[in-house]
Structure 1
Amino acid sequence: MGDPFGRAVRDHSRGERDEPLIQRDGEETREHPIEQFYFTEFTAESDPGRWLESYLDGPLLDLGAGAGRHALYFQEKFETVALEVSENLVATMRDRGVADARDGDMFALRETFERDRFRSALAIGTQLGLAGSMDGLRRFLSDLAHVTAPDGTAVVDCYDPGRIEEGDLLGYRPDPTPGQAARVMTFEYEDELGETLLFRLFGPDRIREAAVGTDWRVADVYYGDEGPHYRAALDKA
């Protein structure tokens, strides 16, 4: 399977991108804002940045690390391991100076890292939705608990279906289950179409529900504005 998303980010980083990265749901398309999402420098000077940093400590596992925006900041403070399933993104992070960028699957953590390896974990980019179901979310949280210390913390993000209005998200699919919905989309770059991605959208209460029995609890939820995107801070119950 090709990697149009990873290639587009890599080409952008190298100054070689001439075509847009497109999000597609059937005939509906939107341009994905690569520079804004992956190449603006992260700092802890803003309210969202301060909130995020307050829940993280090292060693840190950065899951779905993209182009290394967060890893570049946090590796200056403590050991940071940046994990990505795309070889193009791993190469991009290394080119940009991420010290420990690795090719790996955030949904196979037990096979990748030993127990209690990290003090905290970060999964920003709504990849949490690729867990696919409530059962998948529980498995992910259980595996994440396994590779983080007994006093570990984590920050994840998602879209809250209860705050989504029509037209907010390309590929949005409503669901009758409270606090759940779906998003279906594909990335396209230079006429290459990637695999169809199915994201399950979980509201904060669904994350609380999935965390039961995994050692995690939802310690705080940060919206930042009136939109549907939020971040959830987890700690060990």
Structure 2
Amino acid sequence: MTDTDPFGRAIRDHYLGERDEPLYDRDGDDVREHRIEEWYFGEHTDNAWRDQWLEGPLLEMGAGVGRDALYYQDQFKTVAIEVSEHLVETMDDRGVRDARLADMFALREYFEHDRFRSAHAIGTQVGLAGSMAGVREFLADLASVTTPDATAVLDNYAPELEATAEAFGYREDSAPGFAYRVYHLAYKGDVSRTLLFRLFSIDRLREATIGTPWEVCEHRYSDVQWRAVLEKE
């Protein structure tokens, strides 16, 4: 099978009303249908705790089809990035004013120093760094493209919570505070590369900020995830 961005293509087809097959997440014999409408095309949910930390110019990483960017751009300058051309095109169609094809794990290649006042990545994308060394490199890059007084809001699955073990594609890790999720996506006969999400606890996130300008100033838990606010020291 070829890797032709089945994820982005399925979401694009859904937006255009042309999707006649499901997008599947697959982990060996385990299969679930990706809930595209529910997960990507809802309205921005009011979240005063999260939104109080965000100011413009804002960098939204892993912006999907622009659900949150459409809200934030009416508050302040917002740049929304994705690695899928299909998703960037869909954001454009939906009215996102500054949607760009860019990799959140190579931010210095796309943006100048001190470009953003805040940053936002909700959807556990930070786990795609793959390793804690990758997380540290990401935080260093994010520090470079944000102002000295910047804030960032990130989330991830929380291996410190028992319920997280039920997450799709979950893999245990013998090291405390760590786990993985591993699966791929399939749509109309095309299969994505295998996605490897590194799961790490809030305490491990704090360790990852050592040597970077960031510190974890607040966090909250949902059933299986944490959401954290980082500020520059």
Q: TM-score, normalised by structure 1?
A: 0.95
Q: Deviations over 1:107-138 (max 9, x none)?
A: 00111111110000001111101111111100
Unaligned 5+ segments in structure 2 are: none
Q: Distance in 1 between matches of 2:151 and 2:163?
A: 31
Q: Give the alignment partner of residue 37 of structure 1, picking from 36, 39, 54.
A: 39
Corresponding residue number in structure 1 for 2:16: 14
Residue type of the partner of 1:230?
W
How many residues of Structure 1 are paired with residues of Structure 2 in the alignment? 231
Q: Does 1:151 align with 2:149?
A: yes
Tell me which of 191, 198, 216 is aligned to 2:214: 216
Shift of 1:32: 1.3
**Among the aligned pairs, what percent are the same residue?**
59
Q: What is the aligned partner in structure 1 of residue 224 from structure 2? A: 228
Name the CA distance, whole Å, in 2 between partners of 1:142 and 1:25: 32
Contact 1:43 1:73 (8 Å CA) reproduced: no
- Residue 49 of structure 2 is matched in structure 1 by 51
Cα distance in 1 for residues equivalent to 2:213 and 2:164 = 36
Among 25, 28, 32, the residue aligned to 1:26: 28
State how far apart, in whole Å, the 1-side matches of 2:38 and 2:62 are: 17
Q: 1:196: which partner in 2? A: 194
Kindly provide the amino acid, as one letter, of the partner of residue 18 in structure 2: E
Q: Residue by residue, what CA displacement relative to the aligned partner does 1:1-46 show, whole Å, maximum 9, x if unpaired?
A: 31010011111111221211111001110111111111110032xx
Structure 2 counterpart SS, 1:128? helix
Supply the distance in 2 between the matched residues of 1:166 and 1:27 (Cα, whole angstroms): 20
Equivalence for 2:130: 132
CA-atom RMSD in angstroms: 1.1
Say whether the 8 Å CA contact 2:55–2:76 is kept in structure 1.
Answer: yes
What is the CA-CA distance between 1:54 and the residue it aligns to?
0.7
Contact in 2 for aligned 1:5/1:189 (Cα 8 Å): yes
Distance in 2 separating the partners of 1:178 and 1:56: 31
The 3-state SS of whatever aligns with 2:160 is helix
Say if 1:175 and 1:208 are closer, same or farther in 2 by CA, change over 3 A: same
Aligned to 2:182: 184
- What secondary structure, in the 3-state scheme, does the structure 2 residue paired with 1:71 have? helix
1:166 CA drift (Å): 7.3
Tell me the residue number matched to 1:71: 69
Deviation for aligned residue 1:164: 3.9
The question of whether the paired residues in 1 share the 8 Å contact of 2:21 and 2:187 is answered with yes
For residue 229 of structure 1, report the CA deviation from its aligned partner: 1.3
- Deviation readout 1:75-106 (Å, 9 max, x if unpaired): 00111000000000000100100000000110
Residue identity in the other structure for 1:111: E
Structure 1: gaps of 5 or more residues: none
**Alignment partners' CA distance in 2, 1:146 and 1:25:** 36
